Amino acid sequence: MNLVRQTLKPLSFVLAFFMLLISGPFQSAHAAMIGTETVLNSARGQEARAYLKQLLAREDVLNALVAQGIDPGEAKARVGSLSDAEAINAADKFDQLPAASGFFETLLIIAFLVFLILLITDISGYTDIFPFVSPMK
């Protein structure tokens, strides 16, 4: 019995050392349920990122980026590095922006202001543009 212990003692130290070496750098795995929101947000984030990359692939957007002095490759890299929440937020903002918004409204406001100015000058007697206005006396 002593002979067996004496021969196995160095072997047991070597085996204990290798067990410690093998289990040392690895962390134990923690299993948990993945929430539905996490999966949906991840998929939505990927869709938003794909939408933004599709926008950056358009010729008019590339021309606008170059006109502003932005490298299109750098813009694509930044879109790729966005978090899911940032990508979703940016895609939602792009979806809410109307295309060429404000031109018609601005044109109407300017036309109304010009009409008011001409009407006031016509009432004051400086111009005679509108026949339905009688100048102040």
> In terms of domains, do 109 and 87 share one?
no
The model's confidence at residue 113, banded by pLDDT at 50, 70 and 90, is very high
> In terms of domains, do 78 and 104 share one?
no
For residue 112, what are the domain limits?
99-137
Domain assignment of residue 25, yes or no: no
> In terms of domains, do 89 and 126 share one?
no
> In terms of domains, do 91 and 111 share one?
no
Q: What share of the chain in percent tops pLDDT 70? A: 90
Mean pLDDT calculated for residue range 85-94: 84
User: Does the global pTM surpass 0.85?
Assistant: no
> In terms of domains, do 79 and 63 share one?
yes
120 vs 135: CA distance, rounded Å: 10
Which residues lie below 8 Å from residue 62, measured CB to CB, with a gap of 6+? 56, 72
pLDDT at 38: 78
> In terms of domains, do 92 and 43 share one?
yes
Query: Exposure pattern of 32-60 as b/e (b: 16+ CB <10 Å)?
Result: eeeeeeeeeeeebbeebbebbeebbeeee
Residue 101 has pLDDT above 70, yes or no: no
Average pLDDT over all residues of the chain: 82
Task: Please report how the helices 72-80 and 36-57 are oriented relative to each other, as an axis angle in degrees rounded to 10.
Answer: 170
